[in-house]
Amino acid sequence: MTTRNSLVRRMAVRAAGHAITLFARIIAAPRADWRGIAPEQKQRVYYANHVSNGDMPMIWSVLPAALRRQTRPVAAADYWLKTPLRAFAGAEVFRAVLIDRRPEARTSDPMEAILAAIEEGSSLIIFPEGNRNMTDDPLLPFKAGLYNIAKARPDVDLVPTWVANLNAILPKGEVIPLPLICTVTFGSPVHIQPDEGKDAFLARASTALSDLAPPLHDRVAKGEEARA
């Protein structure tokens, strides 16, 4: 009984994974632009800009299947454990490293979970801004997480990953996604310098990411909230 259950579950996980990539492809025809690195089997931390809940599935969809299997997104537990469906998708389909964003309530150190996932050989997708960016600026200031990873594991490639257009495809508060084309650009890996401080490193990593943003048209959709 248990084996059959787990078989059914494994198949459900695979089917859900295919459904998510297919849905992403129909809506946004996402394209990977491997500008700074090649899509090869190598342990990496993809750090990306965050404007929409679709960011992570979009990056996940453009990774070649073999790379996708070894890549786990780092995601907020409060979001991904809210409903049973999200819990299934988050924990089993994406195999997310779930972390608690509320420092006052958490019982475990999120950095430990992240480093443990790197230790077991997984690549990661992380959003170093911590929250969805609703401002006019291309990026919010990065949280310390990326610096801590870089310092603990200087050998792992930190790959800046720019997801373009998702703020226009599904802005916060809208229901119908626009079928615009989404491009995911992977830049050249960033590594920490021996005597580089936290702020200097985070600024450098942030610039490496925002440099990948396409000129103008990507940022047009924002600004309204700031002006309103």
Partner 1 sequence: MTSTTGDIALLVIGTFALLTALTFLGEVLALRRPGPVVETYRTRVHSWWAMVILFGLALILGQAGVTLLFAFAAFAALREFLTFSTKARADHLSLALAFFAVLPLQFLFVWLGWTGLFTVFIPVYAFLLLPIVSVLRGNSDRFLMRVAETQWGLMICVYCASHVPALMTLDIPGIGDRSVLLIAFLIMVVQLGDLLDFWFGRRIGRHKIAPGLSPKTWEGMLAGVASAALIGAVVAWLTPFGVLGAAGMAALASATGMFGNLVLAAIKRDKGVNDWSHLIPGQGGFLDQLDSVLFAAPVFYHVAHLVWMP
For binding to partner 1 (CB under 8 A), which residues are involved? 29, 31, 165, 168, 171, 174, 176, 178-181, 214-217, 220-225, 227-228
Q: Report the distance separating Cα 175 and Cα 172, nearest Å.
A: 9
Report how far residue 228's alpha carbon sits from residue 5's, in angstroms, rounded to the nearest whole number.
52
Q: In what order do the strands lie in the sheet with 183-186?
A: 31-34, 183-186, 157-164, 44-48, 123-126, 71-76, 97-99
Give me the least distance between CB of 221 and partner 1, in Å please: 6
Min dist. Cβ of residue 141 to partner 1 (A): 23
Cα(48)–Cα(88) distance, integer angstroms: 23
Tally of residues, the chain: 228
Q: Which is nearer to partner 1, 15 or 26 (CB)?
A: 26
**Pair of tokens at residue 6:** 């787990």
Comparison of 86 and 217: residue with beta carbon closer to partner 1? 217
Closest CB to partner 1 among 22 and 203?
22
Residue 172 CB, nearest approach to partner 1 (Å): 9
Nearer CB in complex with partner 1: 30/187: 30
- Nearest-approach distance from CB 58 to partner 1, in angstroms: 14
